[in-house]
Amino acid sequence: MILVLISVPALAQHTLHGLLDQYADDVEEEVIAWRRDIHANPELSNREFRTAALVAQHLESLGLEVRTEVAHTGVVGLLRGSADGPVVALRADMDALPVTELVDVPFASTVRTTYLGQDVGVMHACGHDNHVAILMGVATVLSRARDQLPGSVKFIFQPAEEGAPAGEEGGAELMLKEGAFLDPRPDAIFGLHVWPERVGQIAYRPGSFMASVDELYIKVTGRQTHGAIPWGGIDPIVVASQIILGLQSIASRQLPVTATPSIITVGMIRGGVRNNIIPDEVEMRGTIRTFLPEVRSDIEARIRRTAENIAAASGASVEVNIINGYPVTVNDEALTEAMLPTLRRVVGDSMVVSADLVTGAEDFSYFANEVPGLFVFLGITPEDQDPASAPRNHSPYFYTDEKALKVGVRTLANLAVDYMQANQ
């Protein structure tokens, strides 16, 4: 007979993992119901009043310490475990998008609102309804296991990840300003985002993961003249065209493309009112994406130099305004490595994959700049559908296979518990 000796801490850990799985099973139907309710009642950034009330009521029913109206509509819940150990933060974003839903499900959104002066539909086209429901489920699971938690968990339900309305502050940055990380301060933070990949799959990447995002505004001023006599003025349309081409050479010819990618996209150009009039001004708007802070600063300087020199060569003047948005989302490398066994245990080795760099941006980056963070993608594409052809986030056809919800609950709950146990 072979005797297998298991230490008491290891046995306790094994038992707790089993309880977490059991509690996740128990709460699955409720998580699905929450998700459908939130999906049918989406709210835009800084207007997540109904969602925040639902979250706060649930956290209070679990006996958590709850703060509301953090960064307008944000909710922070604190679950204290059985010991004064590590503090783990878990984050979910709550806002929807001005998108008219085209998915044929019984709980499809029919909500409409006014956005930038237009009547628009509102939809959880980025999947934040899933994030909220998953984290509400995690709160249920961990509160049932609170007597075995060697630390505390902060549940951060964040508004305005998609960006605050014009003239307002919001999102993760404002939550931090208003003390979301205080009393107590987290030692680490975890988050996830649903993504069109195989249902239940977890994708991760150590280090830089998602791009920084900055808004680019350029105004070229020339001198108006007749279109048949261009030498009688200074043509800002031609200058703007040259600037656009010059900007493209920054990423392709001035930066080491093998070290890190970068993107400069001009998405709007506007100038002139008539076919035979060369106008005074042309305005351009665009976006800048980078993956390293030092590249972010460098590329901004190169944009200004390129635009100013091209304009000067033609006798025009130029104004360049770059508005910094979200920083690079960086997964702490040591934390990522330490938590990989947890991810593999939860979903299986074959379902944990390394992700490519993502040119989309996330304001989870602000939280991860304060404390070590790990942000992962959770696949939600049905098994009978090719993820490569599945509708992407922000599509009116974006669809979630709800089998992924329990996986999300188990993932965040186990990450929190394993981190606390390893660092007590």
Residues marked active site are found at 326, 402
CA distance linking residue 338 with residue 334, whole number of Å? 6
Taking the alpha carbons of 98, 359, 380, 197 in that order, is the dihedral positive or negative?
positive
Q: List beta partners, residue 87.
A: 152
Phi, psi of 178 (to 5 degrees): -95, 15
Torsion over CA of 98, 104, 110 and 115, rounded to 10 degrees?
10
End-to-end CA distance of the chain: 36
CA distance linking residue 69 with residue 55, whole number of Å? 12
CA distance linking residue 337 with residue 185, whole number of Å? 23
CA distance linking residue 281 with residue 16, whole number of Å? 66
Residues 257/251, Cβ–Cβ less than 8 Å: yes
Residues 368/209, Cβ–Cβ less than 8 Å: no
- Give which of 303, 180, 314, 300 is closest to 239, Cα–Cα: 314
* DSSP 8-state assignment for residue 215: E
Residue for token pair 């951060």: 156
